[in-house]
A and B are shown apart, each in its own frame.
Chain A
Amino acid sequence: MQGVLEYQGGGTVLHRAHPLVKLALAAVVCVGGFVTRSLLVNLALLALSICGGFALGLGGKVKSSLKGAGSLCLFLFVVQLPFVRAGRTLVPLPFGLGITDEGLRFCARFAARLLGATLPLVLMLGVTRLSDLTNTLVAQLGIPYRYAFVVTTAIRFIPVLFVEMRDVIEAQTARGVELDGSFTRKIKLIPPLCVPLLVSCAQRMENNALAAELRGFYLRKRGSGYRRYPLTGSDALLLAVCGLVAAAAIIT
């Protein structure tokens, strides 16, 4: 999971594209998956994300998100499937449950939507520096810097949280806390794991806010960002792709 949400350098068209265009593209693919009623379009969008990811040199991210989000989807798929009663029964199961054609379609769409919503966001963050995203959100959309900063800080802290969790687990294991065992035992172990995690994370966030304040956070204005983000021809092309995807999702 670590590193999945981080920027990965590169020189592709998308790496160089305008941050807001990339955001729009990711949003259109995400939302498009929920708008469309055709499973085919869902699968096409998913394929687009996967191929796009490999083309961007982000194959590693595609694989680990497919593994992470994919196993969640698979789990939900298997759990939901027997309970959908509508449609023609293909495989009857005991207790009045069964696998229906409608159930298959419903669950497949659900899984495709979930995966289809995760991948574009992961890819967008893989080809966009967070600071470029905040700069454009602030300078061009007029979003107050502190809000943009909160969002990017949250994204920044996710990997930190994972590292911290690993450290806490290691520390607790070293102190003899056994992490294997029955379900109820595991539940009982949650507070000793989570409390130090929350405390250290809160502390770190507070120190982080302080560091930002000492480096002029409150002086920042809308035009403070140094980098400029001109729109280029390829941005126009990407916007056209956005339009196409949106149209396809709405029509189908």
Chain B
Amino acid sequence: MDSLILLEGVSFRYEGAGSRALDDVRLSIAPGEFVGVIGPAGAGKTTLAHTLSGVVPHVRRGDFYGSARVAGLDTVTASVVELSKTVGCVFQDVESQFVTTMVEDEVLFALENFDVPRDEIPARVDRALADLNITDLRSRGISTLSGGQKQKVALAAALALAPSALVLDEATGELDPASSVQVFGLLSQLRRERGTTIIVIEQKIMLLCAYADRLLVMDQGRVVIDGPVRRTLEQPDRLLSLGVNCPRVTTLAARLREKELYHGPPPINLDEAETMVREAMA
């Protein structure tokens, strides 16, 4: 299948930095894939996200090697503006992402810039706000919102644009558990309905496992594990040694398998966990 995102031997070193933030990354993501990215602090996750949006190497400068293509555009020759028509981003530091003072204006901003037809705009704003359950915040000042509410606004602004690829860089860190689940549900729905490619950098591995098809584990600028979620979860010791917080139930599954008490795949939800326990006790 044709890939929407294709990285071939991408390495990047920030200006003045000693080591590479990305080191020979090879990666192909098909349209409509839901990819989770996980890894310890400083692994290069944000740098990878920046590579997809062209921020690396256009805004954050340094030595770039290899080739990165997004929707057929070479990220080194295409401009950030061109790439931003395909890739929508929501970043870690929510405070510095707002470009207006009011919730509604924030959602409007990009719609106006990208020349969305006038008659489509109201429905898109309504839908984005409703999707994130923040219709009641519509005419609130952004500075009066809580951290979680701010993240929802940033997400709504990105969703309203309906880009072909959506990159979330730890953009749900301040959400309560129920809202996080809701956001992930929304991402799955986007993928189903519009074929949006979703790339989520996240520390909450269980959420990633429940929704993503594929998990990338990064360490020291490299993609060290790349595969279906379950296959990645089958190596809990490896994950732990990389500093990735592996769910207890996965570790338990691995131990039961070692003792030949369980033979199925590592469970990724409560029902599967129950099945595992029943099998082990039988």
Q: Are A129 and B84 in contact (CB under 8 A)?
A: no
Query: Contacts of A208 on B, CB cut-off 8 Å?
Result: 96-99
Using A220-B112, A224-B112, A226-B111 as known contacts, say yes or no to A213 and B97 having CB atoms under 8 A apart. no
Is A7 located at the chain interface by the 8 A CB criterion? yes
Is B80 located at the chain interface by the 8 A CB criterion? yes
Query: Contacts of B139 on A, CB cut-off 8 Å?
Result: 9
Within 8 A of B (CB), among A103-158: 129-131, 149, 152-153, 156
Within 8 A of A (CB), among B75-121: 80-81, 84-85, 89, 91, 93, 95-102, 105, 108-115, 118, 121
Query: Contacts of B81 on A, CB cut-off 8 Å?
Result: 213, 216, 218-219
A129 to B103, CA, bound (A): 11
Using A204-B96, A213-B80, A214-B84 as known contacts, say yes or no to A130 and B110 having CB atoms under 8 A apart. no
CB distance from B162 to the nearest CB of A (A): 13
Using A213-B59, A226-B118 as known contacts, say yes or no to A129 and B80 having CB atoms under 8 A apart. no
| Chain B 50-65 interface mask (CB, 8 Å, partner A; 1/0) | 0001010001000000
Q: Are B115 and A219 in contact (CB under 8 A)?
A: yes
A contact residues, total (Cβ < 8 Å) = 32
How many residue pairs at the A-B interface have CB separations less than 8 Å?
A: 89
A225 to B85, CA, bound (A): 18
Is B141 located at the chain interface by the 8 A CB criterion? yes
Q: Are B121 and A210 in contact (CB under 8 A)?
A: no
Query: Contacts of A152 on B, CB cut-off 8 Å?
Result: 101
Within 8 A of B (CB), among A212-233: 212-220, 224-226
Cross-chain contact of A219 among B113, B118, B161 (Cβ < 8 A): B113
Q: Are A207 and B93 in contact (CB under 8 A)?
A: yes
Within 8 A of A (CB), among B122-145: 139, 141, 143
Interface residues on B, range: 20 to 34
Is A72 located at the chain interface by the 8 A CB criterion? no
A207 to B93, CA, bound (A): 9
A225 to B112, CA, bound (A): 6
A210 to B93, CA, bound (A): 12
Is A6 located at the chain interface by the 8 A CB criterion? yes
Using A6-B141, A159-B143, A226-B121 as known contacts, say yes or no to A216 and B100 having CB atoms under 8 A apart. no
Q: Are B80 and A214 in contact (CB under 8 A)?
A: yes
Is A76 located at the chain interface by the 8 A CB criterion? no
A204 to B97, CA, bound (A): 9
Query: Contacts of B89 on A, CB cut-off 8 Å?
Result: 214
Is A236 located at the chain interface by the 8 A CB criterion? no
Using A6-B143, A129-B105 as known contacts, say yes or no to A212 and B55 having CB atoms under 8 A apart. no
Is B4 located at the chain interface by the 8 A CB criterion? no
A6, A160, A215: residue with the most chain B Cβ atoms closer than 10 Å: A215
CB distance from B225 to the nearest CB of A (A): 29
Is A211 located at the chain interface by the 8 A CB criterion? yes
Question: Chain A's interface: helix, strand, loop or mixed, by majority?
Answer: helix
Q: Are A216 and B84 in contact (CB under 8 A)?
A: yes
A153 to B157, CA, bound (A): 18
In the complex formed, the residue of A with least CB distance to B79 is A218
Q: Are A211 and B97 in contact (CB under 8 A)?
A: yes
Query: Contacts of B91 on A, CB cut-off 8 Å?
Result: 207, 211
In the complex formed, the residue of A with least CB distance to B140 is A9
A130, A159, A226: residue with the most chain B Cβ atoms closer than 10 Å: A226
Query: Contacts of A211 on B, CB cut-off 8 Å?
Result: 91, 96-99
CB distance from A207 to the nearest CB of B (A): 4
Q: Are A130 and B100 in contact (CB under 8 A)?
A: yes
Q: Are B96 and A207 in contact (CB under 8 A)?
A: yes
Q: Are B113 and A220 in contact (CB under 8 A)?
A: yes
Query: Contacts of A219 on B, CB cut-off 8 Å?
Result: 81, 113-115
A211 to B96, CA, bound (A): 8
| Chain A 53-64 interface mask (CB, 8 Å, partner B; 1/0) | 000000000000
Query: Contacts of B102 on A, CB cut-off 8 Å?
Result: 7, 129-131
A-B contact pairs, 23 of them (CB 8 A): A6-B101, A6-B141, A7-B101, A129-B102, A130-B100, A130-B101, A131-B105, A131-B108, A149-B99, A153-B99, A203-B96, A204-B95, A210-B59, A211-B91, A214-B80, A214-B89, A215-B110, A217-B99, A217-B113, A219-B113, A219-B115, A220-B112, A220-B113
Closest 5 CB pairs of A and B: A216-B113, A207-B96, A215-B110, A131-B105, A211-B97
11 further contact pairs, Cβ within 8 A, besides A6-B143, A160-B95, A216-B109: A129-B102, A131-B100, A156-B101, A207-B96, A210-B55, A211-B91, A214-B89, A215-B161, A216-B114, A219-B114, A226-B111
